[in-house]
Amino acid sequence: MAELQERLEKLILRLDLMGMRVEQALADAIHAIKNNDVEAGKEVNLRDSAIDREEVEIEQECIRLLALYQPAAIDLRTICTIIKVNSDLERIADLAAGIGRRVKHVVENQVDFECHSDLDHLFVITTDILGRTVRTLKAVSASTARKIIEADDEIDNQYRQFVSGVLANQDRSAETVETALTLINTAKAMERIGDLCTNIAEDIIFLKTGDIVRHAEAMKDNPQD
């Protein structure tokens, strides 16, 4: 099984590198939309295609390993985790690309992000949680992964607060409905990224401990007969 271990190590390295590329994509997308940089937004969108290809190649290699070696125990957990995390990272990259595509609308409609400090704070905490997730993936730390799951509540609360503020001020502000939707959809992308980071953190815990923590609280509150 030495060959399996070698191929798994290469896959893990590719996944770590993909995580860093996705983290950079989000940072670049946020920079583009805050600074009205249409070209930077286009670049994020273009680079998303490379991440899509990498996601497919990683999944294909996982399927090959399952077919060739029929792994068990920790090796099987590792492959299952790689498949799931790989998909979630690609979805985060898609959300970053979506933000990049909104930059043109932001410029054309003169959306002023400086007037929305709640959204800027959402950018900061989402970027932070993604960075922590990527580092935790590399370290395979269950304790840090649990902290990421807890931190997602802050993103959810900030998202709800921002959306409530936009809707409450709609009649009093000069922003059009379309602009308000752009702001809300951008905030929603941050909220979804937080959810995907939580998914990855749960998968890291599974890899490290074998425990499935997804929906654990709900199952505890509603035990089956």
Domain ranges of the chain: 2-221
| Cα 46 from Cα 25, distance rounded (Å) | 10
Decide which of 35 and 194 is more confident: 194
pLDDT at 105: 84
Average pLDDT, the chain: 90
Tokens of 118: 């709640």
Residue 39: pLDDT above 70? Answer: yes
pLDDT at 111: 74
Decide which of 111 and 137 is more confident: 137
Tokens of 217: 């609280």
pLDDT at 218: 43
- CA distances to 97, 124, 129 from 30, rounded to whole Å, are 10, 9, 14
pLDDT digits (tens, 9 = 90+) for 48-61: 999 999 999 999 99
pLDDT digits (tens, 9 = 90+) for 129-179: 999 999 999 999 999 999 999 999 999 999 999 998 888 776 655 567 777
Alpha helices in 110-172 (DSSP H): 117-139, 142-169
Tokens of 23: 């983290």
pLDDT at 160: 94
pLDDT digits (tens, 9 = 90+) for 60-99: 999 999 999 999 999 999 999 999 999 999 999 999 999 9
pLDDT at 100: 94
Residue 181: pLDDT above 50? Answer: yes
| Cα 194 from Cα 133, distance rounded (Å) | 10
Is 2-221 a CATH 2.120.10.80 domain? no
- Secondary structure letter of residue 113 according to DSSP: G
Backbone angles phi, psi at 150, to 5 degrees: -65, -35
Contact predicate 78/98, CB 8 Å: no
Counting DSSP H helices and E strands in the chain, the numbers are 7, 0
- Per-residue pLDDT band for 221 (boundaries 50, 70, 90) equals very low
Tokens of 119: 């959204």
